Amino acid sequence: MTTIEHTADAGTANRTGLYLAALQLVFTLGWTTYVIYLPKLAAEVGIAPSAVILILMLDQAIFTIADTAMGIAADKMAPIAGRLGLFVGLVTAISCAAFVALPFVAGAGAAAQGWFIGLIVVWSITSSALRAPPLTLLGKYRAKPQVPFLAALAMLGYGIAGAVSPYLGVVLREHDARLPFVISSVVLLLTALGLSRIEHDVARDTVPPRPDEVAKPLGLVPIAFIVAMVALALGYQLHFAMNSAPSYLRFAAAGELQWLMPVFWIGFNIAMFPASLVVKHRGGLIVMGAAGLMGAVAIAAAELAGSLNMLIAAQFLAGAAWGCMLMSAVSAALAIGSTGAEGKVTGLVFSALALGTFARMAAVAGGLQKMPEYAPLLHWAPVACWSVAGAGLLVIAAARLQGGAQIKASAGG
């Protein structure tokens, strides 16, 4: 490959990563908008405030199933150039239509309660097309050394959305829901429709996967990987969504949370890119495992922090660890599914994230955070989740490396 060709390929690859980052950013901000307004919209159709958490749990239960299903669908469509972009665009159009309709239907009052719930179900199912399917482009068309950096770019959108979400909540809470829902849907649809162009560019520059390629059944390593991912996702949910705000309130006023909570996401966004270099040379499982152990130490430090500055530093490191884990998880999923199951394994990663969110919401719905006898469990469970999963992933990575070395030795002999 000439220098000009290499530069052109790198430019297309970077555009792909930036596009995926924009897609994740817009989608996650749309989800945040939904969570902000859901209590108000639910009240308009006669749904009690106590039932809002159940609606959110329904969303996550649907994501848990739909993310994997959409990933499998992406595997079947990706070999035919242009088909994946068309599929994502059509499903996103349905998703955005359902999303836009929510505040308007809610305005009809209690008589529209069934329609309101039905629209939420449709939106939840169809929005899964925006997570795993676009990321399969990285695994099916991109050279393996490029994948970690591009995965970091893609997850950057997720991290930026997490950082700005507290401010978005403050800005939007008192405004009418209809305009934010329309704006976020239009931007999301326009972004999703760009997938066909991105898909065309990457397919033009690389050898496409064979249409007759059949994905192999998942073995023990992918299953162990997904189990570990569930544990890591649960640890993240318990630490950040349940424990972080109360930890900050030990040293700061409630009004300062909007400035303190993004510290986690700043660490997340910064750490992914240097970690992607390690993934490129050592593999995603090793980085996931090491980050899990380091993150467990950071969470323990946050729990034991004696000052605000120490807590801020610990939260920054915990966020950095989670960024390394998530970026590495996407890279590892694409590598593990490289026999034609990239979408399936990536979908399972997002299903694991949804399952972790569902478990955290179930704990909130059950009032565990209000029960003193469960306080130690909620505070130290994230440490256990990340440390056990991290250690397990390192064992798997070491076994794979040893197996690879033995194969090379046998071939050499």
Class of domain 216-336+366-413: mainly alpha
pLDDT score of 41: 94
What average pLDDT does the chain have? 86
CA distance 58 to 5: 48
CA distance 78 to 84: 5
* In 142-283, alpha helices (H): 147-172, 178-193, 195-205, 220-236, 245-248, 257-260, 262-282
Neighbours of 217 (CB within 10 A): 7
| Burial track 361-395 (b if 16+ CB lie within 10 A, e otherwise) | bebbeeebeeeeeeeeebbbbbbbbbbbbbebbbe
pLDDT tens column, 239-294: 999 999 999 999 999 889 889 999 999 999 999 999 999 998 888 899 999 999 99
- Cα–Cα distances in angstroms (integers) from residue 241 to residues 86, 314, 323, 364, 369, in the given order: 35, 16, 16, 10, 12
Contact 21, 156 (CB under 8 A): yes
CA distance 298 to 319: 9
pLDDT tens column, 109-168: 899 999 999 999 999 999 998 888 888 877 766 666 778 888 898 899 989 998 888 888
Q: Token pair of 12, please?
A: 């297309």
Distance from chain centroid for Cα 176: 28
pLDDT of 9 over the 60 cut: no
pLDDT tens column, 186-226: 999 988 888 777 777 666 655 555 544 555 556 678 889 99
Read off the pLDDT of each residue in 333-341 and give the average, rounded to a whole number.
83
pTM of this structure: 0.88
Read off the pLDDT of each residue in 2-11 and give the average, rounded to a whole number.
46
CA distance 227 to 233: 10
Q: Judge if 1-212 and 216-336+366-413 fold alike in CATH terms.
A: yes
Per-residue pLDDT band for 355 (boundaries 50, 70, 90) equals very high
The one-letter amino acid code at 324 reads C
For the ranges 29-38, 147-156, 380-389, the maximum mean pLDDT occurs at: 380-389
| Burial track 295-334 (b if 16+ CB lie within 10 A, e otherwise) | bbbbbbbbbebeeeeebbbbbbbbbbbbbbbbbbbbbbbb
pLDDT score of 282: 86
pLDDT of 400 over the 80 cut: no
Read off the pLDDT of each residue in 2-21 and give the average, rounded to a whole number.
62
Q: Token pair of 375, please?
A: 């306080």
CA distance 129 to 90: 10
Helix (H) or strand (E) holding 213: none
| Third-level CATH fold of 1-212 | Growth Hormone; Chain: A; (1.20.1250)
Sign of the Cα pseudo-torsion (42, 48, 49, 50, in order)? negative
Per-residue pLDDT band for 4 (boundaries 50, 70, 90) equals very low
Taking the domains of the chain in order of start, what are their residue ranges?
A: 1-212, 216-336+366-413
List, in order, residues 6 or more apart from 292 with CB less than 8 Å away. Answer: 228, 232, 321, 325, 386, 387, 389, 390, 391, 393
Owner of token pair 């162990």:
224
Min mean pLDDT across 11-15, 26-30, 330-334 is at: 11-15
Report the half-sphere exposure of 20 (CA within 13 A, side-chain side): 27
Using a pLDDT cut of 90, give the percent of the chain over it.
51
